[in-house]
Amino acid sequence: MANIPDDREPTGYRPSDDDRPSGRDDDFGRNREDEPSKPAYGDHDLVPDATAEIKAMAKEGLNHPSTKPVLTGAAVGAIAGGVLPVVTWPIGLIAGAGFMLYKRLRP
């Protein structure tokens, strides 16, 4: 498609990657073909990492380094769930444990 200006285009119009010649450096001096491709969204390794961490916590019990922070997060979440009128303590417990597990996996 030709680069014909239109009323709908923003003032800082920049042609898309399809309109640019291949291998051209962008404004920051990096070659676009050299950049590694990122996943479109999210962290695709989170679920396998969480599964492995939960299994390790189940095997090692309180000796595992993640068990105590996750249990603390669960307790804080349960107390917050009991105090707040919107959620109940089981939801707070699960949310607190899930948050602390996430923070242990992705600091």
Residue 42 is predicted with a pLDDT of 62
Alpha helices by DSSP H, listed for 1-107, are 46-60, 67-83, 89-105
Residue 84: inside a domain: yes
Contact indicator for 70, 104 with CB cutoff of 8 Å: yes
Residue 85: inside a domain: yes
Report pLDDT digits (tens) over 48-87: 999 999 999 999 999 999 999 999 999 999 999 999 888 8
Residue 26: inside a domain: no
The pTM for the full model equals 0.58
Residue 81: inside a domain: yes
Q: How many domains does the chain have?
A: 1
Report pLDDT digits (tens) over 12-58: 555 565 555 555 555 555 555 655 565 555 667 888 999 999 999 99
Residue 96: inside a domain: yes
Domain that holds residue 82: 46-105
Residue 56: inside a domain: yes
